[in-house]
Chains A and B, each alone.
Chain A
Amino acid sequence: MANAITIVGVTKHFQKRSRRNESTTLKSELVRILKGQRKVVEPLHHIEALKGVTLTVPRGSTMGIVGRNGSGKSTLLKLVTGIYTPTSGTIQVTGRISALLELGAGFHPDFTGRENILINGIILGMSRNEVKQRVDSIIEFAELGDFIDEPVRTYSSGMFMRLAFAVATHVDPDILIIDEILSVGDEHFSRKSSAKMNEFRQSGKTILFVTHDLSRIETWCDSAVWIDGGQTRMVGDPRQVVAAYRKAVAAAELEGERTGHSALSAPGLELPQIAVAEPHEAPTSPVHVGEVRLRDGVGAQPSAFSAEGALEVFVELDVRTAAPCDVSVEIATVAGISLFKTHYAAGRLEAGRTTTRLSVPRLGLGDGAHVVTATAWSGELPPHSQSKTLVVAPHPSAVGLVRPEHAWSTEPRLSAAPPAGAPQPVAKA
């Protein structure tokens, strides 16, 4: 399959503003020349927004870009769109490109929605006739009703964005570049714009988009790229890229809590390097997790487990080649907060199916739905996991995530002084 976008070794430098302000007026330049001063020979201060990015987007595929603020994502999109020119490297784009970087470029507040559709459509690269053909469907999509013939300055911001989005998506490009604008409008319109994006995907358009909505990357994209500090940190399967990105952000936050500053505090800094653990099936793993079964103390499978009762976790292991295996079971909340994790070195297992059992005599968790994840791996090879939902029945007198063994009591009487004969604390030399 041919590539819609081919980016080879692209770097982009920006001059720092502070330097520009020193000699940006003609007056100061003239004064400098008249005084016979040499041009300031201080080294040019550059901001390296991109430090050599190589990337290909196959035709008809959807690629998501993740990364922190200031990591160079938007610069990359502007380079692909042709707004910026790369400092070095080449960008090749095959097909008509439409960029939804910021909506409503060239809207004039004194003109009606209808008039703005025309000019905005032409600015976005449509011909006059193309706009005229699509004007009705644009108006219908924007759902502005009679407001379409009112000046745009009377619009609410939601109406403005809806109109702008409607025009931008009716350009009918081969390649669509989107920068974080899918959250336009209310719930209803946001669903509608998502549907429009899906339509684009299914009709074989190439889409390159930046979003901080990581679940959207996981569900929509054929591939994902993680841009960090102006470089591609990872390219590949969207779930793996998102998982690695999440881990790095979490690690940076943790580091920030410990040291008081982290890569997250300044824009554009790289996130800490961490070993990337692939959460999903890799062909090389010798051991896979089969079915995970949850049982109570008597071997039954209740719809809700008692917090006071026992839990047995049966993890079916599919050992493909004999290898020393490790198994872990983690119980986490639906939001991903880990409550409990335990690890078991199962030793060398022969090829075939086997089952490991984890017994918890007393569950001791708060009520609600939890996620039980069983993971199996061998040595440094990528692990494999399966999850199961565990529902804990509500208890009338307890709230919270965990429910340790506990007892209440009342002392016979309260004493103000320590009882006689109690050992006094002695300072030791």
Chain B
Amino acid sequence: MVRNLQELYQYRALLWALSMRELRARYRASVLGFLWTFLNPTLSMAVYALVFGVLMASGQPRFPYYLFCGLLPWIFFSSSVLGGTTSVSDRKDLLTKVRFPAQVLPAYVVLTNLINFVLSLPLLFLLGLVFEDYPSWHLVYVVPLLLLQTMFTLAITYLLSALNVAFRDLQHIIANVMQLAFFLTPVLWDLQTVKQFDRLGLTLTAAELQRVILFTNPLAALMAAWRDVFFHHRAPAVEPLLVVAGITTMMLWLSAAVFERRREEFAELV
């Protein structure tokens, strides 16, 4: 795992050049150009705000801003994973023509989305201003949170990209799984609104259910933390994040091992 990260550092020029090109390529051929960075999440936010804020009348105050606080980090995660899954299997041109470090491929997809996320943060603050919500000193938590989510995303992306070379239908399965994960993660809904659970002979109080969600779904912990920082202006709870950090370390180790074992076959299988 450490060696993998070292190698990534070694190829940082390549990583950076690929990410920059990806960012510029994404918007080059379009009329709106770089505005798409902002337009994509804004449009999704507008639709969700209309459905859940107006039509289903969520009681959450400043709902569009509230939504945006969870949606932006979610988009960072989901587009990284969706793009990263096919990042190796789609680059036959690079892998079979030159000696190319395959581990750069998932990493640059994640890096591209990370930059996209950072670039759209001003938009978040702008929307906050509209709702008279001003950033607080709690923004210092952004850096460790970003680091944690990036590492977690990287671990998932490495694993999936390596497996997708051998099992090409994984990418379609992942698209569906991401849809499910989106609804199982507090992006559209809030952890505090969870009611008690009393079904299937299992009884959990609201507080217990919240804890179950927080500690079993790393994404829930991450999204809740982002909301704490941006929306509630409070320090995020540390324990769930420590669990995420533990899971991330294990996942990174596993993914690096799988990726390393499969890497030799990439050029033959893609």
List residues of A whose CB falls within 8 A of some B CB. Answer: 14-15, 20, 24-27, 29, 78, 81-85, 97, 99, 101-102, 105-106, 108, 110-111, 115, 118-119, 122-125, 127-128
B167's nearest neighbour on chain A, judged by CB, is: A26
Interface of chain B residues 33 through 50 with chain A (CB within 8 A) = none
Task: Looking at the assembled complex, report how far the CB atom of B128 sits from the nearest CB atom of chain A, in whole angstroms.
Answer: 35
Contact assessment for B28 and A127 in the assembled complex, using a CB-CB cutoff below 8 Å: no
B238 at the interface (CB under 8 A from A): no
Query: Given known contacts A118-B17, A123-B14, is B167 in contact with A83 (CB within 8 Å)?
Result: no
B21 at the interface (CB under 8 A from A): yes
Contacts of B21 in A (CB 8 A): 108, 111, 115, 119
Contact assessment for B93 and A25 in the assembled complex, using a CB-CB cutoff below 8 Å: no
Query: Given known contacts A111-B21, A123-B100, A124-B98, is B14 in contact with A27 (CB within 8 Å)?
Result: no
List residues of B whose CB falls within 8 A of some A CB. Answer: 13-14, 17-18, 21, 24-25, 28-29, 93-100, 163, 166-170, 173, 264, 267-269
B98's nearest neighbour on chain A, judged by CB, is: A105
Report the bound CA distance from A119 to B28 in whole Å: 17
Report the bound CA distance from A26 to B177 in whole Å: 14
Contact assessment for A24 and B168 in the assembled complex, using a CB-CB cutoff below 8 Å: yes
Task: Looking at the assembled complex, report how far the CB atom of A47 sits from the nearest CB atom of chain B, in whole angstroms.
Answer: 11
Contacts of A84 in B (CB 8 A): 264, 267-268
B29's nearest neighbour on chain A, judged by CB, is: A110
Contacts of B24 in A (CB 8 A): 111
Report the bound CA distance from A115 to B21 in whole Å: 9
B267's nearest neighbour on chain A, judged by CB, is: A83
Contact assessment for B28 and A83 in the assembled complex, using a CB-CB cutoff below 8 Å: no
Task: Looking at the assembled complex, report how far the CB atom of A176 sits from the nearest CB atom of chain B, in whole angstroms.
Answer: 13
A103's nearest neighbour on chain B, judged by CB, is: B97
Contact assessment for A110 and B268 in the assembled complex, using a CB-CB cutoff below 8 Å: no
Report the bound CA distance from A119 to B170 in whole Å: 30
24 chain-A/chain-B pairs, Cβ below 8 angstroms: A20-B269, A24-B166, A24-B167, A25-B169, A26-B169, A29-B167, A82-B99, A83-B95, A83-B98, A85-B264, A102-B96, A105-B93, A105-B97, A105-B100, A111-B25, A119-B17, A119-B21, A122-B13, A123-B14, A123-B98, A123-B100, A124-B98, A128-B13, A128-B17
Task: Looking at the assembled complex, report how far the CB atom of B173 sits from the nearest CB atom of chain A, in whole angstroms.
Answer: 7
Task: Looking at the assembled complex, report how far the CB atom of B258 sits from the nearest CB atom of chain A, in whole angstroms.
Answer: 14
